Amino acid sequence: MRLPQKLTFTKMEGIGNDYVYVWFEDLDTPLTDPAPLAIFMSDRNYGVGGDGLVLIGKSKKADFRMRMFNNDGSEGNMCGNASRCVGKFLYEHGHTGKTNITLETKSGIRTLELTLENNKVASVTVDMGRPIVKPADIPMKADGETFINQEILVNGSCIKGTGVSMGNPHFVVTMHDIASLDLPAFGPLFEYHELFPERVNTEFIEVLSRQKVRMRVWERGSGETLACGTGACAVLVACVLNNYTDKKATIELRGGELVIEWAEDGIVYMTGPAREVFSGEIELI
């Protein structure tokens, strides 16, 4: 099967984390290799423009299924901001009338709870799963059961951080004045560090109080983005492990705020907005 010459898409954003969303009934055909399409659609000059491409379709294991691709074509395991947008897309584009949706991702099945205002999705709470803190499972090339506030050597300097996986690997670093951080120069030093065999998303944070944390993120495969849902969850987990914050806090990202809770059931829940920017049709080249 071949792709059509023109492809219908929807551009959406979750606190500035913007992706191009495309519905396919079956995500495995006709698109057998989504990487080139992701690169093209994400291009802000020649394509639609975004942090990546999200494919949405039917699932044999849940209500629906999503696959997300970074703007370099690499496939990610999970994206919290994208999953909120998927919930809004499914409801407002008539694919479901449910406000509690199960969603199959590469990191497992997640639950989306939609909050409606005037029959529109105002916010979405996502079950982000249980955090993984064992280095071998993040994965990190390190021994032990956890990697909490430990030093790694980056460009000749010893920098402390905490490793967490939320279905994808994260490294959380506490700093002062993250606004002045030269992230394009600094971020790749972590992303391609030998400690992380599958590369890593890196969050640089300032703890403002027991209930609020400010962060910037360098995402593997995308560079700096305005927001990262799994990153915000990893930040909350890292802050709790270091006794910086309570188990529920607001994470302030460059694109907006997310409320993250590490609940008593061990699951991390993320609540935040989603917005449709525009829909259209693009000619494929």
Q: pLDDT tens-digit profile of 8-62?
A: 999 999 999 999 999 998 887 767 889 999 999 999 999 999 999 999 999 999 9
Say which DSSP state 47 is in: S
Taking residues 146-151, report their average pLDDT.
98
Q: Does residue 149 share a domain with residue 75?
A: no
195 in a domain, yes or no?
Answer: yes
Taking residues 132-154, report their average pLDDT.
98
Q: Does residue 181 share a domain with residue 232?
A: yes
54 in a domain, yes or no?
Answer: yes
Q: Does residue 36 share a domain with residue 92?
A: yes
Q: Which two tokens mark 85?
A: 């947008």
pLDDT value of residue 183: 96
Q: Does residue 144 share a domain with residue 106?
A: no
Q: Does residue 174 share a domain with residue 67?
A: no
Q: Does residue 40 share a domain with residue 161?
A: no
User: Alpha-carbon distance 111 to 129, whole Å?
Assistant: 9
Q: Does residue 278 share a domain with residue 235?
A: no
User: Alpha-carbon distance 274 to 229, whole Å?
Assistant: 12
DSSP 189-250: HHHT-TT-TT--EEEEEEEEETTEEEEEEEETTTEEES--HHHHHHHHHHHHHTTSS-SEEE
Query: Per the residue annotation, which of 85, 228, 233, 239 is the catalytic one?
Result: 228
User: Which structural domain, as residue segments, surrounds residue 59?
Assistant: 6-127+272-283
Share of the chain above pLDDT 90, in %: 92
Strand partners for 116: 121
The residue among 214 and 32 whose pLDDT is bigger is: 214
Q: Does residue 144 share a domain with residue 83?
A: no
Query: Per the residue annotation, which of 79, 85, 233, 239 is the catalytic one?
Result: 79
Taking residues 123-147, report their average pLDDT.
97
Indicate which CATH number applies to the domain containing 107: 3.10.310.10
1 in a domain, yes or no?
Answer: no
Cβ neighbours of 93 (radius 10 Å): 14
Q: Does residue 162 share a domain with residue 99?
A: no
Say which DSSP state 255 is in: T
59 in a domain, yes or no?
Answer: yes
User: Alpha-carbon distance 173 to 223, whole Å?
Assistant: 16
How many domains is the chain built from?
2
pLDDT mean across residues, the chain: 95
pLDDT value of residue 147: 98
51 in a domain, yes or no?
Answer: yes
Q: Does residue 148 share a domain with residue 249?
A: yes
Determine the Cα angle at 223 with ends 65 and 122, to 5°: 45
Q: Does residue 259 share a domain with residue 149?
A: yes
Of 77-81, 111-115, 145-149, 277-281, which range is least confident? 77-81
User: Alpha-carbon distance 227 to 207, whole Å?
Assistant: 17
> Given CA atoms 80, 86, 92, 97 in this order, what sign does their dihedral have?
negative
User: Alpha-carbon distance 230 to 57, whole Å?
Assistant: 22
- Region of 186 on the Ramachandran plot (φ > 0 left; ψ -120 to 50 alpha; else beta): alpha
Catalytic residue flag (residue 239): no
Residue set of the binding site: 17, 70, 80-81, 168, 201, 219-220, 229-230
Residue 1 predicted with pLDDT over 50? no
pLDDT value of residue 184: 96
DSSP 125-184: EEE----B--GGGTT-S--SS---SEEEEETTEEEEEEEEESSSEEEEEE-S-GGG--HH
Residue set of the binding site for substrate: 17, 70, 80-81, 168, 201, 219-220, 229-230
Taking residues 257-284, report their average pLDDT.
97
DSSP 77-138: S--HHHHHHHHHHHHHTTS---SEEEEEETTEEEEEEEEEETTEEEEEEEE----B--GGGT
Taking residues 111-124, report their average pLDDT.
97
pLDDT value of residue 2: 60
Interval 220-231: pLDDT, tens: 999 999 999 999
Interval 72-100: pLDDT, tens: 999 998 899 999 999 999 999 999 999 99
Q: Does residue 88 share a domain with residue 185?
A: no
Of 21-35, 41-55, 205-219, 248-262, which range is least confident? 21-35
Q: Which residues contact 217 (CB under 8 A, 6 or more apart)?
A: 201, 202, 203, 204, 224, 225, 227, 228, 231, 253
pLDDT value of residue 5: 84
CA–chain centroid gap for 199, Å, is: 15
Contact 201, 218 (CB under 8 A): yes
Catalytic residue flag (residue 228): yes
